[in-house]
């Protein structure tokens, strides 16, 4: 299997597209009041120590991804167990994203089309993407990201006539506590999911510091999320915001320029679908890599099809209604905690101890 | 019913594209893993198509977490 | 591999003549046998063989038969052939050989072979001369302004045309033969120092592994040598004009010239080259940039318009402004078929008309397309079989598809696939199709170079020749993925 190389720009585009992914579909904005923008900034600051941990781990073991690092640090047996845990996490995450997108399409555009049909398309396409390899995924996201940003910015500009700045006030009316708790949920979803990219770090061409790369991507994605959330608040207003399922979608549907450009929200749902698709592909990719490491298969590309089948299956049975999908968000923070924070932290501490006690050989 | 038809076509195409070359290349382990996963997901699809309600793991996880964190 | 193992040259002239007659089948009238002897010395007998229609008769008469018959040759027992070769025959290209394979191949290629009495060797004299087409502009690659030369079917003429444009000793030619039965001559051309050696080696390797009966056109080689044989996109370029070949060689590409066809193949070939035309460089750069943007937009429009129209009208009506949707629906009143069926039927009809128009002789072809378009189209609309907007959509899609002849095959296939996907899931289906197309484009390579090399980088020097055509004083470097030697012009040309 040839080593696949992606450039830093492609890596950053992958991360940004991933994080922006389903944020606007299921991002927990119906809980947040008018201080969402403060919550995002706080979440960004909170994620700094997190990526610091990732950066440290990746710097200790150059040219390795987190799968290999776990195996090295924890030994064969425990390492394999952690790989298994993470593979399930990414598998579950992929199914969740497929379900989010198909639910979104059904609620918003095609109420009579069964969800498994859209899931079928998503599954086929993501198999094609993963079979073509990491490089193609990098180039694809590098190509589509400017397009997505352009569409988002244009819709924000076009909805300028509907802005109502008093919706942002009063600032901090409810005090800091709700802001902090919202910041936590934004921290876990979507920012903390950057952990998935530590498993792809060995494809990166240059030896830049992981911390800087992750920082840059987090800053870019937080800026995008920030702008869109503020737009949602400005256009929709607080009481509406907490009652609408897909606020970003509905604020675009309100755009009406001279009776000619109206109801263009299908464009934004295409943007959601594209970024959601990128997210599914990354999840499928890392799951396949994990499975191939567990079963010692030579190439992850051959096993991605059955994994995708199972992902689609799980996406069909996992929820029975849209409300359940949104209820999941409330516990997602606690569910993601071990994967995003606890396990990498333990790995770092164990690695440090083992190096200090001379137990572990590390190439510098 | 429709779900079974579409997914059967889907699975058949991929068995044709993927599994046959794997069988010809004599990669035994990969072949069995692939086959087992595909058959497992196919039975789930048939169950869904017939109408059997499969319990969702999300609810199980949700119960576990709410009991741990006392929400 | 000698096909003529059972035959061997002998000293006797008569048995050699019998042998050649047997190889060529006694009733072959194109093989001319002419025996003659020297005037002054009767024992010096010779015989020549050549194929009528492939030789220049004057050379044979004046430069072979005349000197041998007339000059006074001292009586030499040995090395008669060598004497003839060096001192009697007047020709600028001849060689001596004793291999029957070479002799037969030489006769088939239009040379003359000469046997002499009492000699085990024979001489091959170059007397090629046959009717071939004059140098004229290729029909499918016309330009408004610029050189009007085009390649012909004779490989030596083509190579001379290339050589005249690039008068540098760095231009290297490497000959090889392809095709088991056709034994077609092929020549690899490149500029040393500019071309990438890895690609050159790869090309050699792939050509050597070809084993095919006959090679009649570069497309035979193209399909055997291609990186992604299943892809509808071409990974090698082809052209009939020497100025295009010279330009591509200067960029570091490698050309393959084949005898018997005016089409020359270039490797590697990137996606952006579909939209580049040599005319861009002969015209003003603003106009050329507009032309290029138009071509790219035309390609995208050609594959997307039917699909987008279908998805907007059938699935996402709310996006179309109200007056427009009302007129579309008014036009659709009474039409029995769903929009998807109308589109498919009309697209197929358009393709039939186009194909028929190409095959007809030109005077009927014009009439047929006008008759077909006007009569069929408007009667179908009046009979309420199709609606008028569909005819516009199909017409637009077809015409933009004809803008770039090379990409026509891709356009037609993709149009139908996108239409099908669109009919399933509306605009989402179209986006799935586009994404799949892009995944495919990003994953194929042409001889190791990624197909979409220049399009996703942000380096200014890489982009200067893609969507727009920058003026020559700005294009300082060659495309980095093709050649290591980057500098093309020196700085500061603008002053």
H or E element at residue C189: strand C184-191
From the list B2, B42, B58, the residue facing A318 with the nearest CB is: B58
> What's the number of CA atoms in the CB half-sphere (13 Å) around residue A81?
5
Contacts for C393 with CB less than 8 Å, ≥ 6 apart? C305, C306, C309, C343
Contacts for C216 with CB less than 8 Å, ≥ 6 apart? C182, C184, C260, C261
Instruction: Identify whether C369 is part of a domain.
Output: yes
pTM as predicted? 0.87
**pLDDT the model gives residue A30:** 54
Mean pLDDT, chain C, integer = 83
**pLDDT the model gives residue C493:** 44
Neighbours of C211 (CB within 10 A): 9
Least confident of B34-38, C85-89, C324-328, C347-351: C85-89
Q: Which residue has the higher pLDDT, B61 or C257?
A: C257
| Cβ atoms C394, C347 nearer than 8 A | yes
Task: Compute the average pLDDT of residues C361-376.
Answer: 74
> Are the Cβ atoms of A136 and C443 closer than 8 angstroms?
yes
H or E element at residue C114: strand C112-116
Q: How far is B34 from chain A (nearest CA, A)?
A: 6
CA atoms of C317 and C340, how far apart (whole Å): 15
Instruction: Identify whether C200 is part of a domain.
Output: yes
- Whether the pLDDT of residue A130 is over 60: the answer is yes
Q: How far is A130 from chain C (nearest CA, A)?
A: 10
CA atoms of C302 and C415, how far apart (whole Å): 7
> Both tokens of residue C335?
């039409």
Least confident of A173-177, A208-212, C166-170: A173-177
% of chain A residues with pLDDT over 70: 94
3-state secondary structure of C116: strand
Instruction: Tell me the pLDDT band of A127, cut-offs 50, 70 and 90.
Output: very high
**pLDDT the model gives residue C280:** 79
In whole angstroms, what separates CA C142 from the centre of its chain?
A: 15
3-state secondary structure of A261: strand
Contacts for A7 with CB less than 8 Å, ≥ 6 apart? A138, A205, A206
pLDDT tens, position by position, A180-189:
878 888 888 8
| Cβ atoms C47, C35 nearer than 8 A | yes
> Both tokens of residue A107?
């609620």
Q: How far is C318 from chain A (nearest CA, A)?
A: 6
Contacts for C194 with CB less than 8 Å, ≥ 6 apart? C170, C249, C250, C251, C252, C478, C483, C485
pLDDT tens, position by position, A313-343:
899 888 888 888 888 877 887 888 888 888 8
**pLDDT the model gives residue C304:** 93
Contacts for A288 with CB less than 8 Å, ≥ 6 apart? A130, A300, A301, A303, A304, A307
Terminal alpha carbon distance of chain B: 40
From the list A261, A269, A277, the residue facing C435 with the nearest CB is: A277
Instruction: Identify whether C141 is part of a domain.
Output: no
DSSP annotation string for A60-114: HSTT--HHHHHHHHHHHHHHHHHHHHHHHHHHHHHHHHHHHHHHHHHHHT-TTS-
Task: Compute the average pLDDT of residues A52-81.
Answer: 84
Task: Compute the average pLDDT of residues A284-293.
Answer: 92
Neighbours of C115 (CB within 10 A): 26
DSSP annotation string for B36-56: HHHHHHHHHHHHHHHT--PPP
H or E element at residue A282: helix A265-294
Q: Which residue has the higher pLDDT, C175 or A202?
A: C175
Please give the residue of chain B at the shortest CA–CA distance from A92: B58
- Whether the pLDDT of residue C78 is over 80: the answer is no
% of chain B residues with pLDDT over 90: 13
Instruction: Identify whether C341 is part of a domain.
Output: yes
CA atoms of C483 and C451, how far apart (whole Å): 15
Residues C296 and C442 in one domain: yes
- Whether the pLDDT of residue A249 is over 90: the answer is no
| Cβ atoms A109, A263 nearer than 8 A | no
H or E element at residue C225: helix C218-225
CA atoms of A288 and A285, how far apart (whole Å): 5
**pLDDT the model gives residue A110:** 86
State phi, psi for C190 to the nearest 5 degrees. -160, 165
**pLDDT the model gives residue A62:** 79
CA atoms of A40 and A227, how far apart (whole Å): 10
Cα→Cα distances A285→A200, A281, B38, C319, Å: 9, 6, 18, 35
CA atoms of A55 and A213, how far apart (whole Å): 9
| Cβ atoms C231, C440 nearer than 8 A | yes
> Are the Cβ atoms of C431 and A262 closer than 8 angstroms?
no
Residues C175 and C117 in one domain: no
Instruction: Identify whether C139 is part of a domain.
Output: no
Task: Compute the average pLDDT of residues C118-127.
Answer: 85
Domain span holding position B28 = 2-69
> Both tokens of residue A227?
């702008």
Domain count, chain C: 3
Planar angle of CA C382, C386, C390, nearest 5 degrees: 115
From the list C316, C425, C452, the residue facing A121 with the nearest CB is: C425
> Both tokens of residue C428?
């989402």
H or E element at residue A143: helix A134-158
pLDDT tens, position by position, A255-264:
888 777 778 8
Q: Which residue has the higher pLDDT, B41 or C98?
A: B41
**pLDDT the model gives residue C491:** 45
Contacts for A191 with CB less than 8 Å, ≥ 6 apart? A19, A43, A44, A47, A218, A221, A222
CA atoms of C359 and A86, how far apart (whole Å): 62
Residue C317 touches chain A, beta carbons under 8 Å: no
CA nearest neighbour of C281 among C258, C328, C247 = C247
- Whether the pLDDT of residue C462 is over 70: the answer is no
H or E element at residue C423: helix C408-443
Task: Compute the average pLDDT of residues A277-286.
Answer: 94
pLDDT tens, position by position, A87-105:
999 999 999 999 999 999 9
State the helix-helix crossing angle for A36-60 and A210-236, rounded to 10 degrees.
Answer: 170
- Whether the pLDDT of residue A286 is over 90: the answer is yes
| Domain edge (last residue) among C409, C431, C446 | C446
> Both tokens of residue A174?
């409810």
Neighbours of C279 (CB within 10 A): 16
Residues C164 and C82 in one domain: no
Instruction: Tell me the pLDDT band of A1, cut-offs 50, 70 and 90.
Output: very low
> What's the number of CA atoms in the CB half-sphere (13 Å) around residue C485?
15
CA nearest neighbour of A27 among A185, A238, A178 = A185
Instruction: Identify whether C467 is part of a domain.
Output: no
Residue C315 touches chain A, beta carbons under 8 Å: yes
> Are the Cβ atoms of B34 and A316 closer than 8 angstroms?
no
Domain count, chain B: 1
> Are the Cβ atoms of A110 and C427 closer than 8 angstroms?
no
Residue B29 touches chain A, beta carbons under 8 Å: yes
Only one residue has tokens 């799968």, namely A67
Residue A77 touches chain B, beta carbons under 8 Å: no
| Domain edge (last residue) among C269, C299, C330 | C269
pLDDT tens, position by position, B8-22:
998 999 888 888 888
Domains and CATH numbers, chain A: 8-355 (1.20.1740.10)
> Are the Cβ atoms of C439 and A273 closer than 8 angstroms?
no
Residues C371 and C327 in one domain: yes
Q: How far is B57 from chain A (nearest CA, A)?
A: 7
| Cβ atoms A193, A19 nearer than 8 A | yes
Pairing type for strands C122-125 and C184-191 reads unpaired
Q: For chain C, how many helices (H) and strands (E)?
A: 18, 12
> Are the Cβ atoms of C425 and A263 closer than 8 angstroms?
no
Task: Compute the average pLDDT of residues A122-132.
Answer: 93
Q: Which residue has the higher pLDDT, C478 or C62?
A: C62
Instruction: Tell me the pLDDT band of A2, cut-offs 50, 70 and 90.
Output: low
pLDDT tens, position by position, C287-311:
888 888 888 899 999 999 999 999 9
Residues B37-68 as b/e (b if ≥16 CB within 10 A, e otherwise) read bbeebbebbeebbeeeeeebebeeebeebeee
> Are the Cβ atoms of C432 and A105 closer than 8 angstroms?
no
Instruction: Tell me the pLDDT band of C479, cut-offs 50, 70 and 90.
Output: low
pLDDT tens, position by position, C264-286:
999 888 888 888 887 878 888 78
| Cβ atoms A312, A123 nearer than 8 A | yes
H or E element at residue A158: helix A134-158
Task: Compute the average pLDDT of residues C19-23.
Answer: 83
> Are the Cβ atoms of A109 and C426 closer than 8 angstroms?
yes
Q: Which residue has the higher pLDDT, A17 or C377?
A: A17
| Cβ atoms A320, A33 nearer than 8 A | no
Instruction: Identify whether C296 is part of a domain.
Output: yes
- Whether the pLDDT of residue C76 is over 80: the answer is no
User: What is the interface pTM, i.e. ipTM, of the complex?
Assistant: 0.90
Cis, peptide link before residue C154, omega less than 30° from 0: no
Domain span holding position C244 = 155-269
Residues C350 and C437 in one domain: yes
Q: Is A173 exposed, middle or buried (0-12, 13-18, 19+ CB in 10 A)?
A: exposed
| Cβ atoms A203, A134 nearer than 8 A | yes
């Amino acid at each position: 299997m040839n080593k696949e190389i992606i450039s830093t720009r492609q890596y950053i585009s992958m991360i940004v597209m991933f994080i922006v992914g389903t944020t606007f579909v299921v991002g927990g904005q119906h809980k947040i009041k008018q201080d969402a923008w403060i919550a995002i900034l706080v979440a960004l600051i909170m994620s700094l120590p997190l990526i610091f941990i990732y950066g440290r781990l990746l710097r200790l073991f150059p040219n390795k991804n987190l799968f290999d690092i776990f195996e090295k640090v924890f030994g064969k047996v425990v390492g394999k167990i952690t790989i298994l845990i993470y593979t399930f996490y990414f598998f579950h995450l992929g199914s969740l994203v497929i379900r989010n997108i198909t639910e979104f399409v059904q609620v918003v555009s095609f109420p009579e089309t069964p969800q498994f049909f859209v899931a079928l398309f998503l599954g086929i396409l993501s198999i094609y993407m993963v079979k073509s390899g990491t490089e193609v995924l990098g180039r694809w996201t590098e190509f589509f990201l400017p397009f997505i940003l352009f569409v988002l910015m244009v819709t924000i500009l076009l909805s300028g006539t509907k802005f109502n700045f008093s919706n942002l006030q009063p600032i901090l009316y409810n005090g800091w506590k709700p802001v902090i708790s919202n910041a936590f949920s934004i921290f876990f979803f979507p920012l903390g999911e950057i952990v998935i990219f530590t498993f792809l770090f060995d494809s990166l061409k240059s030896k830049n510091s992981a911390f800087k790369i992750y920082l840059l991507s987090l800053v870019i994605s937080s800026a995008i999320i920030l702008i869109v959330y503020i737009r949602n608040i400005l256009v929709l207003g607080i009481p509406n915001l907490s009652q609408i399922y897909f606020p970003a979608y509905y604020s675009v549907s309100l755009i009406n320029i001279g009776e000619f450009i109206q109801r263009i929200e299908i464009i934004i749902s295409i943007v959601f679908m594209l970024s959601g698709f990128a997210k599914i592909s990354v999840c499928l990719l890392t799951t396949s890599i994990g499975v191939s490491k567990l079963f010692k298969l030579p190439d992850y590309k051959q096993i991605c099809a059955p994994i995708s089948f199972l992902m689609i299956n799980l996406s069909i049975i996992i929820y029975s209604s849209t409300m359940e999908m949104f209820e999941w968000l409330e516990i997602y923070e606690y569910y993601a905690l071990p994967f995003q924070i606890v396990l990498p932290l333990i790995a770092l501490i164990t690695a440090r101890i083992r190096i200090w006690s001379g137990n572990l050989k590390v190439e510098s | 019913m429709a779900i079974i038809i579409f997914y059967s076509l889907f699975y058949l195409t991929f068995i044709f594209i993927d599994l046959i070359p794997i069988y010809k290349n004599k990669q035994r382990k990969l072949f069995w893993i692939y086959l087992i996963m595909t058959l497992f997901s196919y039975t789930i699809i048939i169950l869904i198509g017939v109408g059997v309600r499969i319990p969702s793991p999300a609810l199980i996880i949700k119960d576990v977490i709410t009991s741990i964190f006392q929400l | 591999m000698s096909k003529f193992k059972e035959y061997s040259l002998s000293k006797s002239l008569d048995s050699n003549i019998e042998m050649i007659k047997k190889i060529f089948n006694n009733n072959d009238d194109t093989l001319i046998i002419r025996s003659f002897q020297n005037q002054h010395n009767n024992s010096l007998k010779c015989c020549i063989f050549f194929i009528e229609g492939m030789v220049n008769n004057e050379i044979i008469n004046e430069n072979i038969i005349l000197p041998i018959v007339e000059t006074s040759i001292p009586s030499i027992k040995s090395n008669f052939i060598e004497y003839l070769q060096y001192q009697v025959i007047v020709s600028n290209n001849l060689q001596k050989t004793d291999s029957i394979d070479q002799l037969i191949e030489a006769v088939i290629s239009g040379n003359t072979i000469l046997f002499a009495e009492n000699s085990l060797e024979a001489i091959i004299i170059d007397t090629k001369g046959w009717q071939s087409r004059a140098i004229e502009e290729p029909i499918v690659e016309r330009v408004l302004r610029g050189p009007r030369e085009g390649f012909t079917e004779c490989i030596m003429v083509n190579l001379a045309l290339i050589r005249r444009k690039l008068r540098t000793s760095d231009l290297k030619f490497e000959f090889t033969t392809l095709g088991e039965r056709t034994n077609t001559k092929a020549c690899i051309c490149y500029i040393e120092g500019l071309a990438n050696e890895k690609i050159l080696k790869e090309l050699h390797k792939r050509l050597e592994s070809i084993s095919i009966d006959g090679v009649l056109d570069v497309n035979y080689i193209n399909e055997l040598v291609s990186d992604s044989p299943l892809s509808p996109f071409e990974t090698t370029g082809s052209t009939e004009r020497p100025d295009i070949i010279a330009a591509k060689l200067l960029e570091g590409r490698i050309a393959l010239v084949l005898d018997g066809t005016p089409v020359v193949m270039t490797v590697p070939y990137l996606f952006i080259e579909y939209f580049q035309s040599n005319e861009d460089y002969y015209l003003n750069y603003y106009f050329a940039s507009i032309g290029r943007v138009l071509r790219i937009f035309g390609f995208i429009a050609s594959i997307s318009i039917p699909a987008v129209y279908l998805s907007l009208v059938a699935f996402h009506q709310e996006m179309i402004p109200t007056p427009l949707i009302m007129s579309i629906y008014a036009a659709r009143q009474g039409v029995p078929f769903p929009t998807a069926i109308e589109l498919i039927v009309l697209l197929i009809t358009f393709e039939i008309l186009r194909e028929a128009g190409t095959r007809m002789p030109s005077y009927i072809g014009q009439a047929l397309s006008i008759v077909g378009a006007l009569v069929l189209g408007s009667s179908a609309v009046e009979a309420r079989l199709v609606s008028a907007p569909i005819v516009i959509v199909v017409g637009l899609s077809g015409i933009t598809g004809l803008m770039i002849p090379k990409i026509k095959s891709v356009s037609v296939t993709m149009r139908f696939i996108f239409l099908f996907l669109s009919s399933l899931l509306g605009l989402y289906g179209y986006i799935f199709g586009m994404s799949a197309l892009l995944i495919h484009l990003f994953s194929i390579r042409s001889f190791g170079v990624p197909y979409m090399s220049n399009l996703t980088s942000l380096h200014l020097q890489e982009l200067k020749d893609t969507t727009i055509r920058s003026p020559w004083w700005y294009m300082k470097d060659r495309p980095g993925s093709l050649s290591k030697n980057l500098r093309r012009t020196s700085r500061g040309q603008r002053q």
